[in-house]
């Protein structure tokens, strides 16, 4: 299953993570919970949030760290 990043409006880190994904070519889906009829697989308290196979993997800038580690290794 493809990784999924959920973002929201008025979220500074969401823009940073979205730009990182765009520039790095990471294979992931991005959904905006404020603009699309989607919700994360579980309740979350902050955005952006990364899920893989419906499991929460990382929040915020940790998403970038997660992908940087995957791209390096």
Is 33 within 8 Å of 40 (Cβ atoms)? Answer: yes
Tens digits of residue pLDDT in 17-52: 999 999 999 999 999 999 999 999 999 999 999 999
User: What's the first-to-final CA gap in the chain, in angstroms?
Assistant: 20
Q: What is the DSSP letter of 59?
A: E
The whole-chain average pLDDT of the chain stands at: 94
Q: 58 is in which domain, residue-wise?
A: 4-72
Q: Within the chain, where are the H helices?
A: 12-24, 62-72
Predicted pLDDT of residue 71:
72
Q: What is the CATH number of the domain that holds 22?
A: 3.40.30
Provide the pLDDT confidence category of residue 70 given band limits of 50, 70 and 90: confident
Domain count, the chain: 1
- The arithmetic mean of pLDDT across residues 9-13, rounded, is 94
The residue ranking higher by pLDDT, 32 or 73, is 32
Is residue 73's pLDDT more than 70?
no
Is residue 7's pLDDT more than 70?
yes
């Amino acid at each position: 299953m493809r990784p999924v990043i959920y973002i929201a409006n008025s979220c500074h880190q969401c823009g940073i993570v979205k730009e990182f994904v765009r520039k790095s070519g990471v294979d992931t889906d991005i959904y905006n919970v404020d603009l699309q009829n989607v919700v994360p697989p579980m309740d979350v308290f902050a955005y952006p949030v990364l899920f893989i196979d419906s499991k929460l993997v990382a929040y915020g800038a940790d998403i970038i760290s997660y992908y940087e580690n995957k791209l390096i290794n």
